[in-house]
Each structure stands twice: as structure tokens, then as C-alpha cells.
Amino acid sequence: MEATRYRHEDYRETADWLLEHTEQRPKVAIICGSGLGGLADLLDNRVVFRYEDIPRFPTSTVQGHAGQLVFGSLQGRECVCMQGRFHFYEGYDMHKVTYPVRVFFLLGVKTLIVTNAAGGLNSSYNVGDIMLIKDHINMPGFAGQNPLCGHNDERFGERFPCMSDAYDCELRTLAKQTAEEQGCIKFLQEGVYCMLAGPTYETIAECRVLQVLGADAVGMSTVPEVVVARHCGLRVLGLSLITNKVVTDYDSTEKANHQEVLRTTELRTEDLQRLVRHLINKI
């Protein structure tokens, strides 16, 4: 896969185009995972851009990802919401997967909320639980697929950014308080998210390895965007919707599939939307 090389001017061109086409000046950006694009439908005073109409923007190819950038207000706070993200498994390199995050930074965004659908590795998790991400394991990064590889532009961030504080502790505390207020605390978890490259679901042996490593949930996204967001100095809150329990028994007849993921997001989407909507008001 040939690496894409973007310059500061490329990100600036996209950001300036968006600023010219909307009067919204968001401080919060939300990236919606599989089947979770309904979060964008909650916005008031919506201004919608198709990805293919935005200069230099990639396009989404996955079912459950609408491929729209939506500006608007949520609880009176101006936000920008990605209805559909980009994935390494779509054939995009990490620079293209994370392209929107640096655009958000140039738009003036200060906080990034990332959501995803994930498989539950922790045996105490149930399908439909919402996991606050407290840390991550970057498996593609172990293999050299890190979005910060290559030339570092100091206008975005320092060469060697810290990741031990990737997921903002204060935002997680606010999320817990909000979950309690909204009656979501009974299915709220907090754990470690592991990213694999995909698009295949995990083998039984791989799931067992990830459990030994300390991962509570596994998916195919999120980590690259978080790495770039922290490089830019954005605060990050991550939420995983547990859409299936991974298979760790060779005698099991269960099989992970994307349709199951989308069905589960439909069942829990109202709760997740309510949590994010009321949380935005506190940030």
C-alpha cells in the first residue's frame, strides 16, 4: 500500500472550504462507528456535506457508514459529526484514515468523541453494553502502521507525543455521571480497546491472545484517529458499543457477522445517543 503524503496546506484547503460553506464553528467533533450515524440526526440547524463533495476528503465504502459530514448544534453546542469513518481495511493508509482529524483541528475543534462497534472480550460484558475506553492496544502500530510515521509537522504536534493519557480522565468522569443521570449506568463498562486491522473477524486463538494482553473489547477502527487527535492536543472520549461476544470456544457454533453488529446498534442506539447528547452539554 503506497503511503499518502499530505501537507499542512492540503488540510488547510479542506478546512478553509468547510469554513466558507458553513457559519458553524464547532468545538466538538464526533466520529460515528458502524450503525451509529444516527447521532448526527440529533443535530439542530444541520448543514450536510457529502464526503465526495469535500476537497481532498476520502469516501466511506462500508455498510452502516453514510459518508456525510454534518455540522449543527447539540444541546446548544456547535458540533461537527462524521456519519461514517474510514478504515485501514478499505485500502486506505493511516494518513488517509485520519485525514479528517487534522481538518477538525484546523476548524478549531478542541474535543473529539469517537464511537465504535466492538466485540466483547471481557467475559463479564454483555451484548448491548457501552464501554468507556480508558486505554487502547494499537496492534497495527506494533507492525509499523502508525499514522504519525513519516515527516512530523510541528504545526500539528511534537515528534514523540505521549499516549498514556490518550483518553481524557475528566471526560470519562463526566460520562459516568451522565450515564447515572440518564439511567445508563447499569450497562456502562470501562475498559481497554484493542484495534486489529481487519476486515476478517478474529480467530479463537487471536481472541485468547488479546484477553491475555488485557483487552476488554476488539474492533477495526478508532485508534488511528485517537493517536492523531492527541498529537494535535485534542481531548478524547471513546465509547465502544459491545455488539457481540467474541468466540473463544472451539465447540461453539456462534459466528461474528456485520449484520449482527448493525442489529445490535439499532437496539442500543437511543441510549448511546441520549448519553452523548447530555454529555455534550457538560463539556
Q: pLDDT tens digits for 190-224?
A: 999 999 998 999 999 999 999 999 999 999 999 99
Q: What is the pLDDT of residues 23-57, one digit of tens each?
A: 999 999 999 886 677 888 888 999 999 999 999 99
Domain boundaries, the chain: 8-280
Q: Is 256 a catalytic residue?
A: no
> Is 244 marked active-site?
yes
Q: What does the pLDDT read at residue 253?
A: 67
Quick one: DSSP state of residue 271? Answer: H
Residue 92: all three cell numbers together: 486506505
**Cis link prior to 147 (omega < 30° from 0)?**
no
**Catalytic site residue from 11, 40, 90, 225:** 90
231 is catalytic: no
Mean pLDDT, to the nearest integer, of 176-193? 93
Among candidate residues 95, 136, 244, 278, the one labeled active-site is 244
* 136 has catalytic annotation: no
pTM: 0.92
The DSSP H or E segment spanning 119 is strand 111-120
* Residue 117: active-site member: yes
Q: For residue 236, what are the β-bridge partners?
A: 112
Q: Assign 259 to helix, strand or coil.
A: helix
Q: With b meaning 16 or more CB within 10 Å and e meaning fewer, what string describes 188-219? A: bbebbbbbbebeebbeeebbeebbeeebbbbb
Catalytic residue among 138, 221, 229, 231: 221
Amino acid at 265: T
Residue 19 in this model has a pLDDT that exceeds 80: yes
Which one of the listed residues 87, 95, 231, 278 is annotated catalytic? 87
Q: What is the pLDDT of residue 110?
A: 97
Selecting among 11, 15, 29, 34, the annotated active-site residue is 34
Hey, what CATH topology would domain 8-280 get?
A: Rossmann fold (3.40.50)
Query: One of 118, 215, 220, 229 is an active-site residue; which one?
Result: 220
Which residue in the list 11, 65, 99, 166 is annotated as catalytic? 65
Residue 82: which H helix or E strand, with range?
strand 77-83
Which helix or strand (DSSP H or E) is residue 279 part of?
helix 258-280
Catalytic annotation on 123?
no
Which neighbouring-strand residues pair with 194?
137, 218
Concatenated DSSP letters for 131-183?
A: EEEEEEEEHHHHTT--TT-S---TTT--SS---TT-S-HHHHHHHHHHHHHTT
Q: How confident is the model at residue 62 (pLDDT cuts 50, 70, 90)?
A: low
In the set 89, 146, 190, 206, the catalytic residue is: 89
From the list 94, 117, 175, 229, the catalytic residue is 117
The full 3-state SS of 31-63, as one line of letters, equals: EECCCCHHHHHHCEEEEEEEHHHCCCCCCCCCC
Q: In the predicted model, is pLDDT for residue 247 greater than 90? A: no
CB 123 within 8 A of CB 247: no
